[in-house]
Every structure is written in C-alpha cells, then in structure tokens.
Amino acid sequence: MPLAKRIIPCLDVDHGKVVKCINFVNPKQAGDPVEMAKRYSDDGADELVFLDITASSEKRDILRGVVEGVAKAISIPFTVGGGIRNVSDARLVLCSGADKVSVNTAAVENPQVITELADVFGRQCVVTAIDARRNRTPCEGKVMVDTAEGKLWFEVVTYGGRKPTGIDALAWAMQAEKLGAGEFLVTSMDKDGTKDGYDIELTRAISERVNVPIIASGGAGIPKHLFDVLTEGKADAALAASIFHYNQYPVPIVKDYLRKMGVTIRQ
Amino acid sequence: MPQAVIFDYGVGNLLSLKTALEKAGLSASIGTTAKDLMKADAIALPGVGSFTAASSKLDAVKETLQTKIQEGTPLLGICLGLQLFFESSQEGPGDGLSLFKGKNMQLPGTVKVPHMGWNTLNMVKPNELFDGIAEDTYVYFVHSLYPVPKDKKIVCTTTQYGTTFTSSIVSKNIYGTQFHPEKSGDVGIKILKNFVKTVVR
C-alpha cells in the first residue's frame, strides 16, 4: 500500500488556550490545547499543527508548557509555528517535545534561517509556511499560471496576510526547497476562512514544482474539499481547523469519506 | 522498574521517545556518556540528527555499547539509530557502529523526499517485536535514507516507497525500526511494549 494522505487538524493557540476566530474577529476560546490534542489523536488525526497566534518573547514560557503538555499526552507527530525566527526559538519548542517547527515571515525576510534550521535539526524538522494570494496584475518575471479565472500569479504575503511582498510563491517554494525546507504548509489567503474549498490551482502549482511534501491549508468547509485538494490539488496532506473544532465533521467521518472515495488513508 | 537510557546526539526531540518508553513500562533517562550507558537495562538510539554528527558522538561510547550488546542488553535503534547499526551512509562521511554489514542509501528521486507520513509494514519474518501487529499496519516514517543490510535474514519488515526498503530488523537483542514507534500512536506503544518485554525477562 502506498504512503497515506494525512489529515491534520490545526489549533490556533493564544495565551495557552485554543481559540477560534469567527470571520477573523472575536476570538472565541475553544478549549485546552492538551485536551484537544488528545481528542484529535484518539479520533485518528494523522498529525497536528499548533500555531501560536500571538507569539512573543514574554509568552515563550506559556508556549513551552503547552508543547510539553501536548508531547506527553499524544504519540503522533506535531508541528509548532508562530513567531519562530531563529535556531534558539526552534530549539525551545523542539526540546519541549515538538517534532517540527514552521517558519513563515521570518523565512521570507531572512531565507538563510531555513538552512540554519535544517543544518542543526535536519530538514525533516523544517516546515516552511507560505501564505499566498492571487494577483491578476501581469508582472515581469512571475510564473503566470493558467487558472479557471485566467492567467495570474501567486504572491507571497507575510504578517498573517497583512503585507504583500511582491515575491512569487512558486519561485519562493523552489528557492526554499533548495535552502533546506523539508515540507511546505501552503495557505491560500483568498480561501482562508471562506469554507468554500482549498485553492486547488495554487496547491497543485507548488506541489508540481517541489519534491518535498505539501500540506494544503485554507478553505475547508466539507469533506469533499479535502478530497479535491488531495487528488486534483496533488497535496500530500490536508489541514483544517473549524470543520473539526465544532464537531461538524469529526476526523473519523472525514477519513471514512476519503477512504470510500478511494484515497489512501490510515485506518 | 528497568532503566532505559536514550543516547543523546545533541539535537532535537527526545522527550517523545522518553515519554513513549515510560508509557510502555520502562523508566527512561537521557544519557550522553559511557558511564550513563553502563547502568542501562536497555539502550535506545533515537532518530534525530545527521549520520556524520551522530557517528562522531558515538565514537566515545562505541566500546561500551559493544560490551552491553554482548552482555545481552536489549538495544533499540530508531530511524537514524537503526542506520547507525550499519557501516556507512550516503548521507555523509563517518563510520557507523558496524554491528551488521551494509550501508544506508538515499530514497530514489522518483518520490517526494523526505518520506514523511504513515505507511504500512509488510511482515517478512515473525518476531516478538511485532506480536499482535497485523500485516499492513500503519506506522509513522520521516526519513530520506534507508538501510540496506547485507544479511537479509535480519530483515523483519519491509515498506514500499519508491522502492521496497527494510523498515525493521531484529537480530538477537538488537532491534531497529526505520519508522518512529514513539510517533505511531497506539500501534507504536504496542511495539515498544513488546520491546520492553524483552528487557524485563
């Protein structure tokens, strides 16, 4: 049997609690990260991602406590991201029990950090998160992609989608792979929070250009969306948050559906 | 309670392995010296780091490890830990422990590397390490290289990814898994419990 596609619940953590923003405002506490991690793990999640949405130096101790708690509670892999800027930030979470770290803005601003992390911890530890948005303005030197809505390119945005960088996401992915990225977490800022499906064209465009695994993120609303991105989108893993948090589509329901649709999924 | 010592190459996450060994019924500590290894009832070589760096760290404890193995102390190598059982690696220079003849090769470029995620075990020869584990059980892998033992008789399971590779070996008191039992959920804990049974008897 081939390698299974991974289903990854994502937990946004703020001050040590899992939060869920509704329409990007009004963060609502959804629960204790250790309890939720345990529940997802028991439910058959293949991996977990924790994003510390308000990471800052004074909150490092809270984060360390959460990571240690999660590491003791579950025996599946988990990634921690949010505010990781250098080797010492990464060491803190990895030595507290995380298996991988995810870098985003820090890597765009200082690509060398990917190499530094890969040299110390191995590339399998280094997830490069790319937030991208569709840009319809033709621009020289960008990889123009044929999509259902015409030719366009994908622009990297940083600071949680607030800052457009002018960087081509496809070129950035290829560069980051050379620098030592072991995996990509690709989030569509156009789709994130919409619940009307992943950006299939973005995911596929990156997956076809790099030879490391791709986790698709942003836009999951129903199990069919995960099917689409894992097949047509050529993603190796699908990440989602809200469809799991409110038990709308628990992990076992999603995995049963995908298995029935012929996707290789871990029992 | 028997004491397992996890040898520390100096990088990465050892807490998961420590926690998992404790869940499986051992008391586990992290060790860095020959003295630490001397008192161990079981030794684990974990899965993080590079072959070259780990090989140089192992130099200082090589003799102690060999003595312990001869005394019958169960040894569990995970991922890189298993790869270090062999002579060399395409990953980089440095000598392995040469407990077995063979080398470690890069996964082919026809598949995405690292091989990351859940894949299945094909049982090649029955062994107590896999008691209660069915054919095609999923376990968690994260690696770019795989061991190629010269003596095929030590191969316990294989796995397909671009090629058919050795995903675990067993020979007397030496156990090695290319996958991560400490990251393989309940199945992984079950495998570690089987390992613990060989420690306590």
Shortest CA distance to B192 belongs to which of B56, B78, B39, B51?
Answer: B78
* Angle CA A234–A237–A241, to nearest 5: 125
| pLDDT number for residue A118 | 92
Q: How far is B67 from chain A (nearest CA, A)?
A: 30
Containing B37, the helix (H) or strand (E) segment is helix B34-38
For the residues A79-108, what does the mean pLDDT come to? Answer: 93
So what's the ipTM on this one? Answer: 0.93
**C-alpha distances in Å from residue A89, one per residue of A64, A72, A110, A129, B16:** 11, 20, 15, 16, 19
| pLDDT number for residue A47 | 98
Instruction: Name which of A176-190, A234-248, B161-175 the model is least confident about.
Output: A234-248
CATH of residue A66's domain is: 3.20.20.70
Q: At what angle do helices A87-95 and A60-73 cross, to 10 degrees?
A: 40
Q: Is residue A15 part of a domain?
A: yes
| pLDDT number for residue A31 | 82
Q: Is B115 a catalytic residue?
A: no
Look at residue A261 and tell me whether its pLDDT is greater than 70: yes
Query: In which band, very low, low, confident or very high, does the pLDDT at A17 lie, cut at 50, 70 and 90?
Result: confident
Q: Is residue A265 part of a domain?
A: no
Containing B159, the helix (H) or strand (E) segment is strand B155-160
CB contact under 8 A, A77 and B144: no
Q: Is A12 a catalytic residue?
A: yes
Look at residue A159 and tell me whether its pLDDT is greater than 70: yes
| pLDDT number for residue B201 | 62
Contacts across the A-B interface (CB distance below 8 Å): 104
Burial class (CB in 10 A: 0-12, 13-18, 19+), A157: buried
Q: How many domains does chain A have?
A: 1
| pLDDT number for residue A18 | 87
CA distance A103 to A112: 12
CB B160 within 8 A of CB B121: no
**Which of A100, A116, A124, A206 to probe by mutation at the B interface, max B CB count within 10 Å?**
A124
Q: For residue A72, which residues of chain B lie inside 8 Å, CB to CB?
A: 15, 19
CB B24 within 8 A of CB B47: no
CB contact under 8 A, A77 and B185: no
The parent domain of residue A238 ranges over: 6-260
| pLDDT number for residue A58 | 59
Both tokens of residue B47? 């899965």
Using omega within 30 degrees of 0 as the cis cutoff, is the peptide bond preceding B114 cis? yes
Q: What is the mean pLDDT of chain A?
A: 92
**Percent of chain A's residues with pLDDT above 70:** 94
Give me the catalytic one of B79, B91, B143, B156. Answer: B79
| pLDDT number for residue A14 | 86
CB B16 within 8 A of CB B182: yes
Q: Is residue A1 part of a domain?
A: no
Neighbours of A5 (CB within 10 A): 23
| pLDDT number for residue A23 | 46
Both tokens of residue A56? 């800052």
- Which residues of chain B fall below pLDDT 70? 11, 201
| pLDDT number for residue A57 | 55
| pLDDT number for residue A53 | 80
Q: Is residue A242 part of a domain?
A: yes
Q: Is residue A114 part of a domain?
A: yes
Q: Is B22 a catalytic residue?
A: no
* Angle CA A100–A103–A108, to nearest 5: 155
Q: Is residue A267 part of a domain?
A: no
Q: For residue B143, which residues of chain A lie inside 8 Å, CB to CB?
A: 124
What chain B holds in terms of domains, given with CATH numbers, is 3-199 (3.40.50.880)
